[in-house]
Amino acid sequence: MEIFSNLALGFSIALTPFTLMLAVIGCFLGTIIGALPGLGPSNGVAILIPITFSMGLDATAALVLLTSVYYGAMYGGRISSILLNIPGDEPAMMTTLDGYPMAKQGRAGDALVISGVASFVGAFLATIALAMVAPYLARIAYKFGPAEYFALYTLAFATLGGMASKNQAKAALASFIGLAIALVGLDNNSGFNRFTGGNLHLSDGIDFLVAIVGLFAVSEVFFFIETHGKDSAVGVKLGKVTIPWAEMWSTRWTMIRSSVVGFVAGVLPGAGASLGSFMTYMMEKGIAGDKGGFGTGVAKGVAAPEAGNNAAAGGALVPMLTLGVPGSGTTAVLLAVLMTLNITPGPTLFADRPEVVWGLIASLLIANVVLLLMNVPMVKVFVKILMVPPAVLLPAVTMISFVGIYSLSGSYFDLVLMIIFGVVGYAFRKMDIPTVPVILGILLGYQMENNLRHAMTLSGGEWTYLFSSPIAIGLWIAAVLGFVAPMFLRGLLKRPEIRDADELVD
Amino acid sequence: MIRTDRVFGVVVILAALAYIASAYNLPQGSMFDKLGPKAFPIIVGAGALISAAFLVLRPDDEPDWPPVPTLLALAFATLVLVAYAYALKPMGFIVPTAIAAGVLSYQITPKPLSAVLVGIGLSVGLFVIFKYALGLSLFAFPRALMG
């Protein structure tokens, strides 16, 4: 089997002592980041990107570190959901529904262990599925020309925008703002400066890392100043942690079903982990019926969303690696990681840089095992760290963001730009304008334009060329549906009301 | 009634018009680049224009903006961060970071003593981590003083 030789290649890269050490550090940091309210997978990975590059790690090492943080944050999100009723990040929101009632009954330890194992099952199965599905999708992606890519990018914006906000116009506006920012700077094809207003700093364009750190991390500080960190974790108590074997075994089918559904939700562009955990929770609630007692603190109620959101995190890597199109905010950040490493995701990645792809997949499997070991016996350590007061945490996050961006460019200009993005991020989130499409626009704008120009040059300026192949037409139809359908589904899929501590989309 | 969405929509419309106008002045495409550098920006500008028009026509409910004193505190935090950005290079890492971190800490939880300790602790702690554990090139104090 091809997959075994590929995985063997991956493990030969990922199993060196140095990369293993990075995986352990990444998992540890990631779990903390996920657990802390106000920090989630997307802003946690975002503030670490610039620092990782300043350390001069090679591509594989940097990827291992940052994806370990990503997976770790997906695990960690459940800790504050269960103990505080505050989701550490948005995908962990559904875990509060049964996790917090369990904690109130004095069964916080059980909830943490079961959800930890569910996270492991979800993430592990999804990583295997990723290893099996991605190469096939990569083969299909070879058939994509510039017209198909342009349609695909449109699809990514449409579905992400459709999901991200209650108001479609705001989601669309966010995408266009992102694209408009991406076009600032020197146009490589014609050699003209665009929209720089004569500012030399701007002719290199606006670095997407500056935008990501500003929108995701710096804006968080403003929220905490506004609320004076009311959502902080003070006085959390956790008794002795034992492993409830029998109860865990009773959730086995829940975990497996949720992993499958979560993975599929993750693969769909724009859906991501939040939808994965939502769908799996609702599905299991439906299967269990009224006797299941969902919402009162049952094991299946924490197992389903945790398996679902971790499986979705793995599934979201499929479109990101094979097509270069991220399915969620966090994978958009991971795409930024790849782009900074000069790795272009897409079908050619599997042929040209197999060591990167398979090294990444192998390190995800390793990270999962590390995370299971860390999150079940050592969960008390993370609970201690949860008690860091926000008056220490948020200044630290800000200073790390500044040092990261500063060490990339060494100029105050990027720092000021980052602060502006922070203010904009705060205002946008207040106004329910999603920030993830802005990031996606900045990341994809250049390639989107290039594909359009390339397509038009090939066709001699004939716009119908964009709709000339079956794949392209299919993508366009999916884009329209993905953007329009949520308007009608919104009434049907009413989310249960939860106190929103953190509105960052995963 | 003036609503945030309306105001923001009008601002975006004006900005989009300026963006489109600026794109119009770019040159035409050529044989090898049929579309040229101006077409896609115009599409993007037009898209922003249309979405913003929706905001003006059908604004959402007013977001819950914080009261004026909180807004002033946020503005002050922004100013501190901008000052920090400008001070980082000439003044070295330690002193500006301690001040900026202390101010933010005080703004989140107004306890003066702990804010001072957080500022100094974070500044020194992060410097040690960045400089010696991660090997980033930072200067603790102004370079003139370091010789």
Query: Does B102 lie in the same domain as B78?
Result: yes
Q: How far is A347 from chain B (nearest CA, A)?
A: 25
Inter-chain CB proximity A431 and B8 less than 8 Å: yes
Asked if B35 and A456 touch (Cβ cutoff 8 Å), the reply is yes
Most confident of A290-294, A349-353, A365-369, A485-489: A365-369
**How many angstroms separate the CA atoms of A282 and A396, rounded?**
38
Residue B87 structural domain: 68-146
Confidence of residue A501 (pLDDT cuts 50, 70, 90): very low
When divided into structural domains, chain B yields a total of 2
User: What average pLDDT score do residues A163-174 get?
Assistant: 84
Query: Does B89 lie in the same domain as B52?
Result: no
Residues of A in contact with B5 (CB under 8 A): 431
Instruction: Output the pLDDT for position A270.
Output: 63
Q: Of A393, A100, A84, A101, which Cα lies nearest the Cα of A231?
A: A84
Instruction: Output the pLDDT for position A500.
Output: 42
Query: Does B98 lie in the same domain as B41?
Result: no
**How many angstroms separate the CA atoms of A55 and A151, rounded?**
37
Query: Does B142 lie in the same domain as B72?
Result: yes
Interface contacts (A, B; CB < 8 Å): 193
Residues A20-49: tens digit of each pLDDT: 888 899 999 998 888 887 677 888 888 888
Percent of residues, chain A, with pLDDT higher than 90: 18
Residues A106-151: tens digit of each pLDDT: 888 888 899 999 999 999 999 999 999 888 888 888 888 899 999 9
Q: How far is A340 from chain B (nearest CA, A)?
A: 18
Confidence of residue A490 (pLDDT cuts 50, 70, 90): low
A498 found inside a domain: no
Query: Does B36 lie in the same domain as B80?
Result: no
A493 found inside a domain: no
Inter-chain CB proximity B66 and A226 less than 8 Å: yes
- Name the token pair of A499: 């106190």
Residue A231 structural domain: 2-488
**In one letter, which amino acid is A256?**
I
- Name the token pair of A410: 């060494």
Residues of B in contact with A221 (CB under 8 A): 77, 104
Residues of B in contact with A394 (CB under 8 A): 104-105, 108
B40 found inside a domain: yes
Query: Does B118 lie in the same domain as B83?
Result: yes
- Where would I find the H helices in chain B? 4-24, 39-57, 68-91, 94-108, 112-128, 143-146
**In one letter, which amino acid is A465?**
Y
A502 found inside a domain: no
Q: How far is A155 from chain B (nearest CA, A)?
A: 15
Confidence of residue A499 (pLDDT cuts 50, 70, 90): very low
**In this predicted model, which residue has the larger pLDDT, B25 or A271?**
B25
Inter-chain CB proximity A228 and B123 less than 8 Å: no
Torsion angle of C-alpha atoms A468, A470, A471, A476, degrees rounded to 10? 70
A388–chain B Cβ distance below 8 A for any pair: no
Query: Does B74 lie in the same domain as B25?
Result: no
Q: Of A343, A215, A331, which Cα lies nearest the Cα of A265?
A: A331
B90 found inside a domain: yes
Residue appearing with tokens 């050490």: A21
Q: Which of residues 441-470 of A touch B (CB under 8 A)?
A: 445, 448-449, 452-453, 456-457, 460-461
Query: Does B141 lie in the same domain as B75?
Result: yes
Confidence of residue B117 (pLDDT cuts 50, 70, 90): very high
Please, what is the average pLDDT of chain A?
84
A412 found inside a domain: yes
B139 found inside a domain: yes
Query: Does B76 lie in the same domain as B32?
Result: no
Residues of A in contact with B26 (CB under 8 A): 190, 192, 194
When divided into structural domains, chain A yields a total of 1
Query: Does B80 lie in the same domain as B121?
Result: yes
Residues A49-76: tens digit of each pLDDT: 888 888 878 888 888 888 899 888 888 8
For B120, residues 6+ apart whose C-beta sits below 8 A from its C-beta are B98, B102
Distance of CA A478 to the CA centre of its chain: 22
CB atoms within 10 A of CB B111: 14
User: What average pLDDT score do residues A416-440 get?
Assistant: 92
Most confident of A242-251, A361-370, A375-384: A361-370
Q: How far is B78 from chain A (nearest CA, A)?
A: 7
B75–chain A Cβ distance below 8 A for any pair: no
B63 found inside a domain: no
Last residue of a domain, one of B17, B35, B57: B57
Inter-chain CB proximity B101 and A395 less than 8 Å: yes
Confidence of residue A222 (pLDDT cuts 50, 70, 90): very high
Query: Does B118 lie in the same domain as B53?
Result: no
Confidence of residue A275 (pLDDT cuts 50, 70, 90): confident
Query: Does B48 lie in the same domain as B81?
Result: no
Helix axes A299-315, A95-104, angle to 10 degrees: 140
